[in-house]
Structure 1
Amino acid sequence: MKQPQNTATLFHRLRIILVETSRPGNIGSVARAMKTMGFGELVLVNPRFDGALEHEEAVAFASGAQDILASARIVGSMAEALEGIHFAAAVSARLREYSPPVLAPRQFAEQAAGGGLHAALIFGNERFGLPNEIVEKCNVLINIPANPDYSSLNLAQAAQVLVYECRMAALAAPAMAATPAEPAEAAAAGIGFQGEAASLTQIDAMYEHLEQALVAIGFLDASNPRKLMPRLKRMFSRTRLETEEVNILRGIARKIMGKDPQ
């Protein structure tokens, strides 16, 4: 049976995640950028100072978006930040050798607006950006196509670019949905049987299980793993894994390890 699709607009399905932010003013500025574009869910992962959401500089830079700060959450891990998320995008100016597929902001926004999934934009520390282990957990990497001779955007500026594109895509989505699709377009859009999308938490557990199975059969050397797991994650990130598909892969991993599926 086809799973019911989330009919909420992207305004209610997009989460902004800031990882180890150093400057309280950037948190306030991101909150302001979010509110001007109609988004409200903000999550901070281990900000590098206490009282991040009440800091006077954060409140001042929010400039009328204090309600975004008041409803924001602070969590201690990416697992908590990504709970319930199906489509996550790491935002980075630095391309990675084994990153997930790279999208421009508009491409991400269109996919997030049209898919009916809970999506997240993840921004790293102002100085260090996002570590590879977080990027590898994401479905896509967003690279803003700025001037190559001077591509420096601060955190709040990058967030403003992304939430603007998401607003434009969210506003366009109802009109696009109201336009009848041609048969070929309908097939490409996934009309027909479609299972429930796997969450990032489920997919991350699948990777751990698969890695254990590959070590058990000697295919992966745990002491010298090289780039096998990042390559596998990159391969799977090009798909939209469904919950049942994740369960199948975990069942295979259990069988490899000599344990019957539960």
Structure 2
Amino acid sequence: MKPTVSDTSLFARLRFVLVETSRAGNIGSVARAMKTMGFSDLVLVRPRHADALRDEEALAFASGALDVLEGARVVDSMEAALAGCNFAAAVSARLREFSPPVLSPRQLATQLHSQPALHAALIFGNERFGLPNEVVAQANVLVNIPANPAYSSLNLAQAAQVCAYECRMAATDGAVGDPLIGFSGEAASVAQIEGMYQHLEQALVEIGFLDANNPKKLMPRLRRLFARTQLEVEEVNILRGVAAQMQKRCR
């Protein structure tokens, strides 16, 4: 039975974002994977195939999910792709030294379902190169699909299908795991958090705590620290107020 989609349903709150996808067929396959699990919000960031949403291969691989392709959007930047989202999950088989917290698809799905204030984006990278480090650094979590360590390669549509399945299971109360405590305030958007990082970095430079010419790994460590906290709008405003006061004292 198809679930009723409301503003608070995970089916209405989860966006699939494909970054610089090379094969139009993979876009169609992701659309099909999404629709089989009840999701429909698809955004493409700079696809490498001209008119990717209308390409014959995309249409063929989408099969009965043409409505997902027709409703998809093509944008030029991650900022545009994440507009309206306050939580971003980067999907990658490659772990980074300074990545945000790492979750399995099941853990992510349980968290998203249990926190209805989250409007989330699942971000998938290029088939060959994956996601750039700067995109992963802006995400709240990194999603790593547990697989055979001797051969852990999944293609784009397979990865999307696994994540969509776990999210559907969570949304229909089929997920395993204890529910997490929800936000007491409004979750900060990706853009608000990124603005906070930039403001904090400027303040740290002005007070002499951060050497702009030799920054080392301070900001990646701070990003990882704050990524574990799931910042609320009020908390971001407090941190920006602290940064502003630091700057004021230096001037």
Counterpart of 1:144 in structure 2 is 145
Greater Cα offset, 100-109 or 214-223: 214-223
SS for the counterpart of 1:108 is helix
- Looking at structure 2, the residues matched to 252 and 203 of structure 1 have their Cα atoms a distance apart, in angstroms, of 14
Partners of 2:7 and 2:13 within 8 A in 1: no
Partners of 1:87 and 1:112 within 8 A in 2: no
SS for the counterpart of 1:197 is coil
Q: Percent identity?
A: 69
SS for the counterpart of 1:21 is coil
- Looking at structure 2, the residues matched to 173 and 210 of structure 1 have their Cα atoms a distance apart, in angstroms, of 41
SS for the counterpart of 1:159 is helix
The amino acid that maps onto 2:214 is N
- Looking at structure 1, the residues matched to 125 and 50 of structure 2 have their Cα atoms a distance apart, in angstroms, of 18
After superposition, give the CA deviation of every residue in 1:225-249 in whole Å (9 maximum; x if it has no partner): 1111110000000002110110011
SS for the counterpart of 1:258 is helix
Shift of 1:45: 0.5
Shift of 1:50: 1.4
CA change 1:101–1:216 in 2 (3 A) is: same
List aligned pairs for 1:101-120, cutoff 5 A: 101-116=101-116, 117-120=118-121
Counterpart of 1:157 in structure 2 is 158
Instruction: Give TM-score scaled by structure 1 length.
Output: 0.88
Counterpart of 1:84 in structure 2 is 84
SS for the counterpart of 1:64 is coil
Pick from 165, 168, 189 the counterpart of residue 181 of structure 2.
Answer: 189
Q: Does 1:217 align with 2:207?
A: yes
RMSD: 1.9
- Looking at structure 2, the residues matched to 67 and 37 of structure 1 have their Cα atoms a distance apart, in angstroms, of 14
- Looking at structure 2, the residues matched to 122 and 239 of structure 1 have their Cα atoms a distance apart, in angstroms, of 20
List aligned pairs for 1:1-262, cutoff 5 A: 8-116=8-116, 117-172=118-173, 189-190=181-182, 194-258=184-248
- Looking at structure 1, the residues matched to 228 and 126 of structure 2 have their Cα atoms a distance apart, in angstroms, of 26
- Looking at structure 2, the residues matched to 150 and 240 of structure 1 have their Cα atoms a distance apart, in angstroms, of 33
Shift of 1:10: 0.3
Shift of 1:252: 1.1
The amino acid that maps onto 1:59 is L
